[in-house]
Amino acid sequence: MFFIGIYGFIVRKNMIAILISLELVLNAVEINFAVFNRYLYPEQLEGMFFSLFGIAITAAETAVALAIIINAYRCIGNVNVRNLNKMKD
Amino acid sequence: MMDFGNFLFMEQEIGLIILFVLLFFYDIFCSEKGKKYFQLVAVSLFAVFTLFGFTPMNKGEAFGGMYISSDMTVFMKNILNIATLIMFLQVKTWLYSENTRHKKGEFYLITLVTLLGMYVMISSGNFMMLYIGMEAASLPLACLIAFNKYQEKSAEAGVKYILISALSSGIMLFGLSFLYGALGSFYFSDMSRNMISSPLVLLGFVFFFSGLAFKLSLVPFHLWTADVYEGAPTGITAYLSVVSKGAAALALIFALYKVFGSIDVAWHHILWWLAIITITLGNIFAIRQKDIKRFFAFSSISQAGYLLLGMIAGTAQGMTAMVFYILVYVFSNMAVFGVIAAVENHTKGDTRIAAFNGLYKSNPALSFVMMLAVFSLGGIPPFAGFFSKFFIFMAAAEQGEYLLVFIALLNTVISLYYYLLIIKAMFIKEENPNNLSRFSIDNYNKVSLVICTAGIFVIGFISLIYEYIDTLSFGI
């Protein structure tokens, strides 16, 4: 799941699709934490807590990213990363 | 049962939150007329807060070791405070311009939140705190980068920054999950006690390190830097290159020394190669830049490489040299960006290096400050930059890293070449695309440039500062 996310981040051209790939990466990590906690250290809860915090922060991240993407959409008229090429040397 | 006494250790964080709340209410309830003084109020309150940081603080571990406050963290936070104060002084003209005037309150509030995130990052004794601090620092920073709402460049830089920072925190978390699987805890102290050099730990470390390396913009992970630095408003570029980078470096050195100290054989080689590539490529790419903000983006990449030298040493001396390097870097780089902001405001956003042609003829004072700052960044003897480079080379050389120091020394020569390109533009070239005439800058920016110049001259000569940092640092 993590590497599907990375793959999506690299090959997708649509900003929203890139954001979805990022969610995939972060969800993979969340599951990883929960699973390690459940099977290796069932007597404690640290991994579960980390997942909870991670989910909350990821939601905040998505909100900010969407806001910025909307702003970019207003400026360039679409959400294709190919058009984010104003700055080049 | 929760012990509220723990909060006493977080004096600086709580002070920052109080400052935030005060400015927040001022921003909401004050009339448009009263907001004319927002800059004055914000800057003076923040200056008071910066001074407060130098008063004696409570030190110790709070919340079962999640939060650590020591002399070192207090000193590091003071460095970040000074840098942020200088940045606040420099943004006045830009912030009071037409497109941003109505949201100047937001600018200060969001910046304070990012600063709070960096505090948490530095003081963390637990990887969960480190992660939360990092996100609290980088999410609002993305909003600040996209602050020029009507500029395509700014929006583009914002998108690039938020996507890359989300990816990097994903990679870092992936590494952390492996570390958790192998060691069974997130606390720095427990993890270093159980540290073994197993493949799972190494895999986790590599992912964790790559995540932080994105924030530090070390070379294989640096591709976002130039675009974001160019697109962001100049004040934010300064903030990114000094405060955000400094905080990431400090958090990284704490994690390396405290948690991964016992497997230093494993990370030593990774850092060794990264340092060489970062310094060299940063320098080589800086030479061909035409835009001054991109130019200083690559220059800051190579400076981050020098910071790695201090980490590689792995001794108390290395840490001292690194913290001192960051302190000097604050003053030099802030001076550079103060001058860039002044010229940019005058020429309506022209950031080509050619815009600086003949600056010496029209504005001798500005070009003089720029010259000092650039010489300090390049490491020319009487200025502070020479001493910081000298200490960091000495720290690495004492561990027998002669080859590394030699390559870094060669690179300082290359860096002198491209820093001199700016001097050449200012002093020798005549024709300016904007017909630059004599212009005056606002008083806040003047104060900031005076502070920076004083810092560049003085810090190198007061050995007290270096010795003070030396009493605070620790090795592996």
DSSP string, B120-145: HHHHBSBHHHHHHHHHHHHHHHHHHH
Residue B114 predicted with pLDDT over 90: yes
Q: What's the gap in Å between the CA of B48 and the closest CA on chain A?
A: 31
Are A5 and B170 an interchain contact pair (Cβ–Cβ within 8 Å)?
Answer: yes
Domains contained in chain A, number: 1
At B83, is the pLDDT very low, low, confident or very high (cuts 50, 70, 90)?
very high
Nearest to A18 among B158, B163, B231 (CB): B163
- pLDDT given for residue B2 in this prediction: 62
- Token pair recorded at residue B297: 């983006």
Whole-number mean pLDDT of chain B?
88
Tell if the CB–CB gap between B181 and A60 is shorter than 8 Å. Answer: no
Calculated CA dihedral for residues B203, B205, B206, B207, nearest 10 degrees:
90
Task: For residue B162, give the chain A residue with the closest CA.
Answer: A65
pLDDT bin (cut points 50, 70, 90) of residue A88 is: low
What percent helix, strand, coil does chain A show, rounded to 5?
A: 80, 0, 20
Query: Measured between CB atoms, which of B163, B180, B185 is closest to A33?
Result: B180
Between CA B390 and CA B253 the distance in angstroms is 20
Question: What confidence tens digit (pLDDT) does each residue in B19-49 have?
Answer: 999 999 998 888 878 778 888 888 999 999 9
Give pLDDT tens digits for B264-309: 888 888 889 999 999 999 899 888 888 888 999 999 999 999 998 8
- Biggest alpha carbon–alpha carbon distance for chain A: 55
At A9-60, the pLDDT tens digits run 888 888 889 999 999 999 999 999 999 999 988 888 888 989 999 999 999 9
pLDDT tens digits along B59-72: 888 787 888 888 88
Q: How far is B185 from chain A (nearest CA, A)?
A: 7
Contact (CB<8Å) A25/B150? no
The whole-number average pLDDT for the span B371-396 is 89
Among B170, B215, B139, B176, CA closest to A24: B170
Here the CATH number for the domain that contains residue A48 is 1.10.287.3510
pLDDT tens profile B146-173? 988 888 888 889 999 999 999 999 999 9
Task: Transcribe B247-260 into DSSP letters.
Answer: HHHHHHHHHHHHTS
Q: For A50-79, b where at least 16 C-beta lie within 10 A, e where not — what string?
A: bbebbeebbeebbebbeebbebbeebbeeb
A87/chain B closest Cα distance in angstroms: 6
Domain containing residue A16 = 2-88
Radius of gyration of chain B (CA): 21
Given a contact cutoff of 8 angstroms between Cβ atoms, the answer to whether B208 and B266 are in contact is no
**Per-residue pLDDT for B368 more than 80?**
yes
